[in-house]
Amino acid sequence: MEDSKGPDYKKNFGLNYGFATRALHAGEHLGQPQTKSHTNAIYQTSTFVFSSAEEGARAFSGEDPAYIYTRLGNPTVKVLEAKVNALEGAAVKLANPDLRVSTVAFSTGMAAISGALLACASAGDELLIGNVVYGATEHLCANVLSRLGIRTTDVDVSDLAAVRAAILAHPKAKAILFESPMNPTMVLADIAGVVRVVREVNPDIHVIVDNTFATPYLQRPFELGADVVVHSTTKYICGHGTVVGGLVTTTDDRVKDELYKLVKDLGASPSPFDTWLVNLGLKTLPLRMDKHCASAMAIARHLERHPKVAAVYYPGLESHPQHALAVRQMKDFGGMLSFELVGGIEAGRLLMNTIQIFTLAVSLGCVDSLIQHPASMTHACVPRDKRLQGGITDGLVRLSVGIEDVEDLIQALDTALAGLPN
Ligand SMILES: Cc1ncc(COP(=O)(O)O)c(C=O)c1O
């Protein structure tokens, strides 16, 4: 039975609808016109069938956009890609209907970051990388891209004068990649400011934003002028801690073509089932983020007054040095915060071993709250002076605030803090 509105009717689902409406409806039902299923099918298949050699030939030549093999494309994956186009690029596409916003789903956030960087740079080119980025992004630059002849340079992206100087000093740079907010210090980069400097000094540079911490609900880099946005969907977009996944969205057709080549030739495509879970999670992103943000704000305000806490880093607090920028470029301030224990490294260890409700685990953006102490865990093997240079002090604790009752989270923190020596 043919859907009366046609098989692709939700592909460009009402870009002028609100975010929550788009999160629920955009892209849904792509690829399943014959059924009346209310939810998307999981096409858990490695390959697709041709009814004749001629049909196969048309698919391989590109004359017919049929599915061939899941590494090259899959209808379940297409649903997620179409939804993300509608979420990330709605405002830019409405402003300029000719602008194409394209998303390619990857198997992990790191595959997405690798794809985005390799789509922009080749041997002999250079890349500028935010000075505080996810550890594996640093390793990718130091251990992999360097071997491919792509030189990378760290830039303090919270300082626009440093960004300008780096662009001037590296005329072969093809892209600048950075995160905002940064992990775990919650320092921000002024996305529109970086775009402005890039356009003034070297417009050939692509601006790539890792938007994992903020999500498209809280921050939309395309509206601030960025060219490429990457996400680890492992975090808030899936939201339930069930998959690893990644996304790259771009307004640049040449980058999009490179991404398609990379995802299929590197074999970095996601599994249909994982993508289905990500799409399911994405439908409740706005609801979840509102709760994450409200609870993180309440916890940040509470910890700011606690005698065993020396400092709290959360962009929503007036005490955050870039609070005005956060208000300008974010809809709300996110579910991630970090704080400094007066008692240093021992207090951090004790807190990890005694706190209730919060799960002691890396990763972030889950419905349940996670806690970690970088100095004794993720960064334990980093030399102390290097760790301190990156703002990761002995007593720094990172919270990924979940959607539990916030009173219970505050109580759990208070009880664990009360057990720390004065
Ligand atoms: C900001 C950021 N970007 C990218 C990644 C990598 O994502 P994945 O673990 O899905 O490969 C992470 C993982 O924690 C992250 O925090």
CA 384 / ligand 1 centre spacing (Å): 23
370 pLDDT higher than 90? yes
Q: Token pair of 360, please? A: 């002691």
pLDDT digits (tens, 9 = 90+) for 248-281: 999 999 999 999 999 999 999 999 999 999 999 9
CA 314 / ligand 1 centre spacing (Å): 20
The CA R_g of the chain, rounded to the nearest whole Å, is: 22
Any idea of the CA torsion for 327, 369, 105, 11, to the nearest 10 degrees? Answer: -70
Beta-sheet strand order (sheet of 370-372): 309-313, 336-341, 396-400, 370-372, 359-360
pLDDT at 183: 92
Question: Lowest mean pLDDT: which of 95-104, 113-122, 229-238?
Answer: 95-104
CA 109 / ligand 1 centre spacing (Å): 5
- Residue 291 has φ and ψ, to the nearest 5°, of -70, -45
d(CA 89, CA 251): 8
Give the residue-averaged pLDDT of 396-422: 97
- Residue 60 has φ and ψ, to the nearest 5°, of -70, -30
Per-position b or e across 155-189, b if 16+ CB within 10 A of its CB:
bbbbeeeebbebbeebeebbbbbbbbbbbbbbbbb
* Every domain of the chain and the residues it spans: 19-41+73-282, 286-418
What percent of the chain is helix, strand and coil (3-state, nearest 5)? 40, 15, 45
Could you tell me if the CB of 134 is within 6 A of ligand 1?
A: yes
pLDDT at 123: 98
- Residue 105 has φ and ψ, to the nearest 5°, of -85, 140
pLDDT digits (tens, 9 = 90+) for 304-348: 999 999 999 999 999 999 999 999 999 999 999 999 999 999 999
Does residue 281 contact residue 237 with C-beta atoms inside 8 Å? yes
Which H or E run contains 127?
Answer: strand 126-130
pLDDT at 1: 31
> What residue has token string 């057709």?
253
CA 232 / ligand 1 centre spacing (Å): 5
- In this structure, whether the domain defined by 19-41+73-282 belongs to CATH 3.40.640.10 is answered with yes
Burial (CB count <10 Å: 0-12, 13-18, 19+), residue 5:
exposed
Residue predicted with more confidence, 381 or 105: 105
Does residue 210 contact residue 152 with C-beta atoms inside 8 Å? no
Which H or E run contains 1?
Answer: none
How many CB atoms are closer than 10 A to CB 267? 10
> What residue has token string 């297409």?
78
Q: What is the mean pLDDT of the chain?
A: 94
389 pLDDT higher than 80? yes
Atom number, ligand 1, closest to the C-alpha of residue 234: 10
Residue predicted with more confidence, 111 or 27: 111
Q: For the whole model, what pTM was predicted?
A: 0.96
CA 200 / ligand 1 centre spacing (Å): 30
For domain 286-418, give the CATH number.
Answer: 3.90.1150.10
d(CA 35, CA 109): 32
pLDDT at 12: 59
Task: Please tell me the residue having the least CA distance from ligand 1 atom 7.
Answer: 109
Atom number, ligand 1, closest to the C-alpha of residue 362: 14
Q: What percent of the chain has pLDDT over 70?
A: 96
pLDDT digits (tens, 9 = 90+) for 202-244: 999 999 999 999 999 999 999 999 999 999 999 999 999 999 9
pLDDT digits (tens, 9 = 90+) for 150-205: 999 999 999 999 999 999 999 999 999 999 999 999 999 999 999 999 999 999 99
71 is catalytic: yes
Does residue 373 contact residue 396 with C-beta atoms inside 8 Å? yes
Which H or E run contains 337?
Answer: strand 336-341
31 pLDDT tier (thresholds 50, 70, 90): low
Could you tell me if the CB of 244 is within 6 A of ligand 1?
A: yes
Could you tell me if the CB of 108 is within 6 A of ligand 1?
A: yes
Task: Please tell me the residue having the least CA distance from ligand 1 atom 14.
Answer: 363
Atom number, ligand 1, closest to the C-alpha of residue 110: 11
Task: Please tell me the residue having the least CA distance from ligand 1 atom 15.
Answer: 134
- Taking alpha carbons only, the member of 312, 355, 311, 353 closest to residue 336 is 312
pLDDT at 77: 97
Give the start-end residues of each E strand in 16-121.
102-106
CA 240 / ligand 1 centre spacing (Å): 15
- Residue 128 has φ and ψ, to the nearest 5°, of -105, 135
Question: Lowest mean pLDDT: which of 32-41, 134-143, 192-201, 294-303?
Answer: 32-41
43 is catalytic: no
- Biggest alpha carbon distance in the chain? 78
Complete DSSP assignment for 221-260: GGGGT-SEEEEETTTTTT-SS----EEEEES-HHHHHHHH
d(CA 19, CA 331): 12
Out of 210, 227, 274, 394, which one is annotated catalytic? Answer: 210
Out of 71, 283, 331, 349, which one is annotated catalytic? Answer: 71
| Angle made by CA atoms 360, 361, 367, in degrees to the nearest 5 | 95
Does residue 374 contact residue 364 with C-beta atoms inside 8 Å? no
